[in-house]
């Protein structure tokens, strides 16, 4: 039987923050799988249980990893299998890739590079991919970058994703990995074979956005700002100087530039009542509110409520909308999609199509920042 993971846990608490070209990403975070099929797509892997027992799996072969009590059971062809506290699956050919398939209502198969750790954790398998950083960045750009057509747009996304990665690399460090693959960190569905996106990561290798103190910025982005980005204090509780409001002429003809939603008048008043409004509804016009430029609060007489709260409660596409009463209904006429802070993706796509490069795109949405190699970052957190 193999050793407990105490030594491993101790070591991982002290992972050097400089990542040495690799990042530890938790996979299938929201799915909490109890078993997974590991299949080698390229090269050769050794599955080892930290106690000198091992199984070799080559391209075209697979192994099934399952939670068994509080252990991991490994079953592979031509092998008696392993039962262990954890396993490390390490590529040994120098050019190794694998897929993972999980089951359930909708089976999912995703592709990865690098190595894999598999550890039982609170009733599920904790799957940690030790991935090449730039392949991870390309995967994030594929998952989060939308349908851009120009490489300079994707380069801007790659720099944002890399900035996020370095800024948050210790987010899950006590859980034995750097980042999860869910919206909590950055969405990552595995590596991509999109050559333009792969180039966008490789051609910006190491580059991040630094603030005046050479600290990686909060690299916020959203789908469409509706013509004006939002200052973060409308959304969060902080207000860094590089996230200023920007008037954006580039996104206003894009897909997510405008939206509308009609709500029954009684429903609107009832919602406001629930939120503390006590002024009654005798004069419907009091509920009209024009948001020509972004405002933080909706106002009816002396009653105010943050637009961002209405957006969340009513599941609206943005907090940038006007309110007009029209008979028995209330029309919400909105602009943009997302929180509006930082880079506007649809605006950035148009900028790239007009010939701007990724540095110009980032400079347009972030004020007073430097785009530089992560080695130039000055904090202890990033070196």
Q: Which residues would be at the binding site for Zn ion (CB under 5 A)? A: 180, 184-185, 225, 248, 251, 344, 347
Query: With respect to Zn ion, which residue has the nearer C-beta, 184 or 245?
Result: 184
- In degrees and rounded to multiples of 5, residue 145 shows phi and psi of -85, -10
Q: Whole-number minimum distance, CB 279 to Zn ion, in Å?
A: 35
Question: Which tokens in the block code for residue 280?
Answer: 């009654």
3 vs 7: CA distance, rounded Å? 9
Q: Whole-number minimum distance, CB 84 to Zn ion, in Å?
A: 26
Residues 341 and 230: beta-carbon distance below 8 Å: yes
Query: With respect to Zn ion, which residue has the nearer C-beta, 3 or 255?
Result: 255
43 vs 93: CA distance, rounded Å? 5
Question: Which tokens in the block code for residue 276?
Answer: 């503390």
Q: Whole-number minimum distance, CB 365 to Zn ion, in Å?
A: 8
Q: Whole-number minimum distance, CB 121 to Zn ion, in Å?
A: 14
- In degrees and rounded to multiples of 5, residue 314 shows phi and psi of -100, 5
3-state secondary structure of 31: coil
Q: Whole-number minimum distance, CB 145 to Zn ion, in Å?
A: 15
Q: Whole-number minimum distance, CB 117 to Zn ion, in Å?
A: 17
Query: With respect to Zn ion, which residue has the nearer C-beta, 251 or 369?
Result: 251
- In degrees and rounded to multiples of 5, residue 167 shows phi and psi of -65, -35
71 vs 68: CA distance, rounded Å? 5
Query: With respect to Zn ion, which residue has the nearer C-beta, 71 or 168?
Result: 168
Nearest 5°: the CA angle 62, 67, 73 is: 50
131 vs 138: CA distance, rounded Å? 11
Q: Whole-number minimum distance, CB 37 to Zn ion, in Å?
A: 24
The tokens 């970052």 sit on which residue? 377
Query: Given the DSSP bridges, would you call strands 22-27 and 179-180 parallel, antiparallel or unpaired?
Result: parallel
DSSP state letter for 250: S
Query: With respect to Zn ion, which residue has the nearer C-beta, 85 or 248?
Result: 248
Query: With respect to Zn ion, which residue has the nearer C-beta, 251 or 332?
Result: 251
Query: With respect to Zn ion, which residue has the nearer C-beta, 115 or 248?
Result: 248
């Amino acid at each position: 039987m193999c050793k407990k993971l105490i030594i491993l846990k101790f070591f991982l608490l002290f992972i050097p923050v400089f990542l040495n070209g690799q990042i530890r990403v938790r996979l299938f975070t929201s799915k909490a799988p109890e078993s997974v099929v590991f299949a080698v797509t390229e090269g050769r892997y050794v599955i080892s249980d930290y106690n000198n027992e091992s199984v070799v799996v080559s391209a075209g072969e697979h192994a099934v990893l399952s939670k068994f009590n509080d252990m991991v059971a490994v079953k592979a062809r031509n092998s008696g299998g392993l039962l262990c506290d954890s396993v490390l699956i390490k590529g040994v050919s120098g050019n190794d890739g694998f897929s993972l398939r999980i089951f359930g209502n909708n089976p999912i198969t995703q592709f990865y590079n690098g190595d894999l750790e598999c550890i039982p954790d609170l009733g599920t398998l904790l799957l940690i991919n030790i991935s090449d950083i730039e392949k991870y960045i390309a995967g994030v750009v594929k998952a989060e970058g939308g349908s851009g057509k120009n490489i300079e747009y994707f380069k801007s996304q790659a720099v944002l994703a890399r900035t996020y990665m370095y800024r948050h690399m210790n987010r899950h460090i006590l859980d034995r990995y750097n980042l999860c693959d869910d919206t909590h960190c950055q969405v990552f569905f595995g590596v991509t074979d999109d050559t333009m996106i792969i180039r966008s990561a490789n051609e910006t290798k190491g580059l991040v956005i630094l603030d005046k103190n050479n600290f990686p910025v909060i690299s916020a982005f959203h789908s469409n700002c509706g013509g004006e980005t939002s200052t973060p204090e409308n959304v969060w509780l902080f207000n860094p100087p590089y996230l200023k409001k920007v008037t954006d002429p580039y996104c206003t003809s894009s897909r997510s530039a405008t939206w509308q939603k009609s709500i029954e008048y009684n429903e609107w008043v009832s919602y406001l009542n629930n939120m503390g409004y006590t002024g009654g509804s005798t004069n419907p016009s009091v509920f009209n509110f024009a948001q020509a430029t972004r405002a933080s609060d909706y106002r009816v007489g002396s009653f105010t409520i943050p637009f961002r709260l209405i957006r969340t409660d009513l599941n609206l596409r943005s907090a940038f909308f006007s309110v007009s009463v029209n008979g028995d209904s209330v029309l919400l006429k909105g602009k943009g999609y997302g929180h509006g802070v930082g880079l506007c993706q649809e605006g950035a796509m148009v900028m790239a199509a007009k010939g701007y490069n990724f540095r110009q795109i980032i400079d347009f949405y972030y004020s007073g920042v430097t785009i530089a190699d992560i080695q130039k970052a000055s904090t202890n957190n990033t070196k």
